[in-house]
Chain A
């Protein structure tokens, strides 16, 4: 491929004083100043700031590598490009290795997800939605940081759809079987949670709580042994599936073009391995982002684990109480605090908090009232990770002269709201998005994440079919105007 890259002349101005770099520095200085202000009030805010700074780093890497997991499945079917699927697998492998080290050191904050059909159904709805929004939950955040208001609309839709889903009752309750209502009623739960009202409460208490969530090492009774963590959680649950998927991606999406370009009519094993390497390094930015994100995600878990041990806590809610903040905590005095990269739950909290301020209280739900709380967004530590992703992406986009404010059209706004709503519904049914229910799970030995990826792939495949149909219909209808 012949390629000439040209850039506009900005060479006369020193690098530091270029407008875009000054703007990037301003964003960075804002985060530094905010962090110092928080620490000057109470050094315990460092717990929240860890989320902020890891979020900032995630955002920078996501933007640098155009690292959107929606594209991993969507572009395979839409344009037959495996770039992001490869990047995602690299990140999984690296995260798994670092997660193993963190677990062996005793600082893991990971909890496995309950395994069941809800994962496939939720992931398929989520996967269908991401085709229309143009990004996964993290992808939408980093694209919002590039100035894309359409992606911000996706985040808003994800936030409110989740908050509504987890607190809705009335006719929604008819969606769940009576056996779940009876199972929920049998749970020993405080009356204020009304676990037999609200379809998501019934689904959670009457179905999810009766399912098992385990790591592979736990299944074989080796959760406490180094061999179980390394061989069963890391190698068998993460590295081996990654290797198989990479071989499949090479065979079905890359090999033919690679052999044609390299002129290998009768390839040897060495040629095939060279082809695999070429596929993994075809997009250096994506590969670098995959390596960086994998390592950072593991380190994030480690740093939070160390801080929890330092403060003698299991959850940020305990620290908030110690600092005098008790509003918005769950009845267990906890808040959502995974201790690792997670996206959708904190966005549900944003939506739920705003709804509460508008007079729609959902603290009688299990999701908010028992598990995650509804803290003020200024006290929402994982929420600041999401904001950090937006700001980190803005820093990177500004420094690369790629930041541009983009307003949605009616068409893209419709896709953002409908797709984002489907993503929110799917994420709650599956108990997480492609980060919380896939990336963070398989890397920590929980095989339920592969079930999520399978469901998300099915949803994305159907989504691409529907999107292609719509695009063909739309361009045919406007053939005279658009010419395509």
Chain B
């Protein structure tokens, strides 16, 4: 288990924080959103349900769009477009 952050295509990034509990997922997400450009898409993969509420609130506060979310089996794949 290790956090990974990769560029998957032009303006598309993937952050995988599976295996981490709070506060790692939300703090790594914040750091990743700070790193990418406005309009870029971040695919976030995590498995700590509690982090989801904070990440959603963080996106809302910063104006980023949570454009898709796949929630199943204790794993979550969210796509966030940075404002």
Contact = CB atoms under 8 A, between A and B. Distances in A.
A3 B66 contact: yes
A234 to B, nearest CB: 29
Interface of A: 1-8, 63, 66, 68, 70-71, 74-75, 78-84, 131, 134-135, 139, 143, 146-148, 150-151, 253-254, 257, 260-261, 282-283, 285-286, 397, 401-404, 406-407, 409, 412, 464, 467-468, 471, 475, 481-484
B69 A3 contact: yes
Contacts, number: 155
A286 B21 contact: no
A481 B5 CA distance: 9
Contacts of A81: 26, 54, 57-58, 61
Given A7-B72, A68-B22, A412-B19, A483 B7 contact: yes
Contact of A484 (B5, B61, B72): B5
Contacts of A409: 1-2, 19
B20 A412 contact: yes
Nearest to B50: A66
B60 interface: yes
B22 A8 contact: no
Given A134-B22, A135-B21, A483 B69 contact: no
Contacts of B31: 471, 475, 484
Contacts of A3: 65-69
Contact of B61 (A66, A80, A139, A148): A80
Nearest to A409: B1
A462 to B, nearest CB: 14
Interface in B16-36: 19-24, 26-28, 30-32, 35
B75 interface: yes
A143 B20 CA distance: 12
A412 B17 CA distance: 12
Interface string B34-71: 01000000000001111011101111111101111111
Contact of B53 (A70, A254, A286, A407): A286
A4 B57 CA distance: 16
Given A81-B54, A483-B6, A151 B21 contact: yes
Contacts of A6: 68-70
Nearest to A20: B73
Given A3-B67, A7-B71, A483 B5 contact: yes
Most buried by A among B1, B15, B61: B61
Nearest to B13: A483
B39 to A, nearest CB: 14
Contact of B73 (A4, A253, A404): A404
A416 to B, nearest CB: 8
